Amino acid sequence: FFSSRRRHTRLQGDWSSDVCSSDLRGARVERNQPISEVRVIMKKTDLNAYLTKLGLPRELPADLETLHKVHVAQHRSLPFENFDIALQRGISVEIEDIIQKTVYHSRGGYCFELNGLMLEVLNTLGFEARSLLGRVHVSGTPTGRSHQITLVTLDEIGRAHV
């Protein structure tokens, strides 16, 4: 039910997961650089539009207070919605499409869109962040990993935040 123009690429080295080549657009990648060190940089105009939409200042340090502010502001400003899924429309998980939909067209999105946007913003702001897959349990029966979450590690306190 979603579409992506991403090509999955296995980078050389000791990798625990695949990386999509479109995730690396704008990143400086050294040979054998671990995935956790690869940073994708969001366009400054898109980042500024996102921060303005959320009512946040343009300059933010990568610390626990900023993480909390960005999380709360996005949660309050960009709703979870699955209209496209219910209407059987295609969904793109390309960051450019997510930015257009959520920032410029005042729509919400589902977990892969909203958490993908959050991941992009946090990495651009200088956080050490990566996406993970999770399960949503609505009954006692385990389901597949169909939910995206973001894991942020803060050096200042050495703790991980989901």
Q: What is d(CA 127, CA 134) in angstroms, rounded to the nearest whole number?
A: 21
At 109-125, the pLDDT tens digits run: 988 899 999 999 999 99
Long-range contacts of 68-74 (CB under 8 A, 24+ apart): 70/118, 70/121, 70/122, 70/125, 71/118, 74/114, 74/117, 74/118, 74/121
Q: Give the best-scoring range by mean pLDDT among 24-38, 41-55, 84-98, 144-158.
A: 41-55
pLDDT classification of 143: cutoffs 50, 70, 90: confident
Average pLDDT of every residue of the chain? 76
Global pTM? 0.70
Q: What is the pLDDT of residue 96?
A: 94
- Of 160 and 38, the one with more pLDDT: 160
At 36-87, the pLDDT tens digits run: 444 557 899 999 999 999 999 999 999 999 999 999 999 999 999 988 888 9
pLDDT(129) > 80: yes
